[in-house]
Amino acid sequence: MGTGAGRPSKDRNVSAAALVFPERGGAFWLFDAGEGTQHQLMRTPLKLNKLEAVFITHLHGDHLFGLPGLLSSRSYHEGAGDLPLFGPPGIKSFLDAVFAITGTHLEYRLDIREAVAGPIWDDGTWSVRCAPLDHRIPCLGYRIEERDRPGRLDSERARQLGVPFGPLFGALKRGEDVELPDGTIVRSRDVVGPPIKGRVVTLLGDTKPCPEAVLLAEGADLLVHEATFAAGMEEKAAKYGHSTTGQAAETAKKAGAKRLVMTHFSHRYRMEDLASLENEARKVFPETVAACDLKAIDIPFRSE
């Protein structure tokens, strides 16, 4: 939704990212909400009544100032249910003050949960944990893990063994052995492949290189990491609590991540500079992409 740092430009909005679950009818989670995020959402198929959770990394304005308006607008979307919102300490005071001063009333229950470290969310399919990063103010990174899925059912093999299409197929896929009318036992392991490894997505807030970033990104299928400055600007990056392209790539390499998406680029870099920034990181970590606003990135299962 936004890939710029500090302030918006004509090419990039400020920080926000959506993790979309197509199999859940377009449901999505939002990570950060800089100013103008709801305008960016209008340029996508995403709808606010499909927003299931919000995760804020820290309380700098370029990650936060779009949140009150977005939450208010969500009240006008039919079917918008209760909404959990996670963020560092202070997020509740911020929202309570904004809503009280402006007289804003939400038509749904906003469940604000301030977090520091550890597991914070589990919906039965995906779980989330967070850890503190190294920035100028308290800042969180989030690791989102999917549970392993049952292996693929070889329906042709099941039919050959006499299993009729219907509920027994589902039982086999769930790992259950089934008994046919003639007493034959068909074992799940004979017709179902090995479990499909769940995916891992890591989205970090602003940070200097730190051990917690590596731990959150360990083995991730996709790591979203800030790269505010180009390689060679490590001193300036450290001064402001940020990372360079090379440092983001080094974190991905240390963590054994599969892919790296760099974001949060300084206002000094134009769209035509993205290829150069991308190439800097690829010298350290080849599977790197420089993000641009409204770019969609598929996260396939490893078997695919």
- Rounded CA separation 66/37 (Å): 6
Catalytic residues, by residue number, are 62
Q: What are phi and psi of 29, to 5 degrees?
A: -115, 145
Residue 225 known to bind ligand? no
Nearest to 196 by CA among 301, 52, 96: 301
Residue 135 known to bind ligand? yes
Residue 58 known to bind ligand? yes
Helices 274-282 and 245-255: crossing angle in degrees, nearest 10, is 40
Residue 293 known to bind ligand? no
Residue 60 known to bind ligand? yes
Q: Residue 231 carries which DSSP code? A: T
Rg of the chain in Å (alpha carbons) = 22
DSSP 182-208: TS-EE-HHHHB-PPBPPPEEEEE-S--
Residues 228/229/233/236 CA torsion (nearest 10 deg):
-40
Q: Does residue 265 contact residue 215 with C-beta atoms inside 8 Å?
A: no
Residue 62 known to bind ligand? yes
Known binding positions: 58, 60, 62-63, 135, 206, 264
Enumerate the known binding-site residues for Zn(2+): 58, 60, 62-63, 135, 206, 264
